[in-house]
Amino acid sequence: MLEPSALHGIVPPIVTPLTPDGEVDHRSLTSACRFLLASGVHGIWAAGTTGEFPCFTAGDRAEIVQTCVAAAGGRVPVVANIGDCSTKLAVDHARRAAVAGADALALTPPYYYLNSQGELMDHFRAVRTAVDLPLLVYNIPQTVKTQFEVATVLSLAEEGTVVGMKDSQNDLDWDRTLIAGLRERDVPFRLFLGTRSLIDAGVLLGACGAIPGTANVTPAWSVAAYEAAARGDFATAAQWQERLLTALPLLNLVTGGSGNANSIGSIKLALKVLGVIEHATMAAPLRSPSADDEQRIAEFVQAIELPGPVAA
């Protein structure tokens, strides 16, 4: 079983490329994995929010994980998001992910119904009991509606149910309170921030890495920011972090859909422009980018000199 200490650094929540008819494009997914690996990332986060996971069948999600595992080839850990609306569904995804070769699992709170903290604890315990893989909390209240209390995470960590967390709520006060509680209890824990602009700040706070969606298109810059911060060179980390900020307008260049879909569509389109994936199709009913969007993205990618794959 994977040692939790192997979970660190930049772990991009990889996009799920699709064919024009909406099927998973496994060839492009493999290409995206190879692009990230060649850029020095420390792991792959499969079937996450940036990967449009709620839009796919259980079989699709397991195949996405399997493709990422095959592409990673044991060089970095693959974390499979298994979040769904109930414990039964999450356990099914967990079992499928384990068969697909995932090294660790990530679990959101159930969505649709609001859940109490006690229900969250029961949910995580049941999944961890069902599948013997390291389990991480995926805290993203802006999409699932339920927010973890610090005390809940501390209890799950102290009893060994979870080994880490991706916190996407962008609340450093909450993160500092969690880290202080973990240190007080002397509980090892792998905290990742989901933010794209606080990689260095997270390391300073005590996080072990970051899982930003923008790392799909800025993997080398993100890795450079993290590695500089990890060795204590925060001046260099800040320089890379400022360079990463120049890429953020990319997320607003696709228009016509929802905010989240526009951001994911922008990332997919940038990867298409860079020659990493073949199409920028979104999972229906999310709106796919237009030809005008592609022109804007291409001009922006060129303007900020965003690096693409290095020829072999």
Domain containing 219 — which CATH number? 3.20.20.70
pLDDT on residue 30: 98
- Report the predicted TM-score, pTM, of the whole model to 2 decimal places: 0.96
Does the annotation count 113 as an active-site position? Answer: no
Residue that finishes a domain, picked among 234, 260, 280 = 234
Residue 100 in domain: yes
Active site residue 88: no
Q: What is the pLDDT of residue 257?
A: 67
- For the chain, list residues with pLDDT below 50: none
Residues 183 and 159 in one domain: yes
**What's the confidence (pLDDT) of residue 311?**
60
At residue 251, what is the residue type?
L
* Residue 309 domain flag: no
287 lies in some domain: yes
Q: Check whether residue 144 and residue 264 sit in a common domain.
A: no
- Give me the helices (H) in 81-159, please: 87-100, 117-130, 141-144, 150-158
Question: Which of 112, 113, 145, 166 is an active site residue?
Answer: 166
CB 17 within 8 A of CB 279: yes
**Residues 152 and 258 both lie in one domain:** no
The pLDDT value given to residue 197: 84
Specify whether 221 is located in the same domain as 286: no
Which residues, other chains included, contact 232 with Cβ-Cβ below 8 Å and sequence gap of 6+? none
SS3 content of the chain, % helix, strand, coil (to 5): 50, 10, 40
Contact at 8 Å (CB) between 80 and 65? yes
Asked, for residue 241, whether it belongs to a domain, the answer is no
CA distances from 37 to 10, 30, 195 (A): 11, 10, 20
> Residue 309 has what pLDDT?
92
Range(s) of the domain holding residue 185: 4-234
Q: Which of 234, 260, 285 is where one domain is finished?
A: 234
Domain boundary among 187, 208, 234: 234
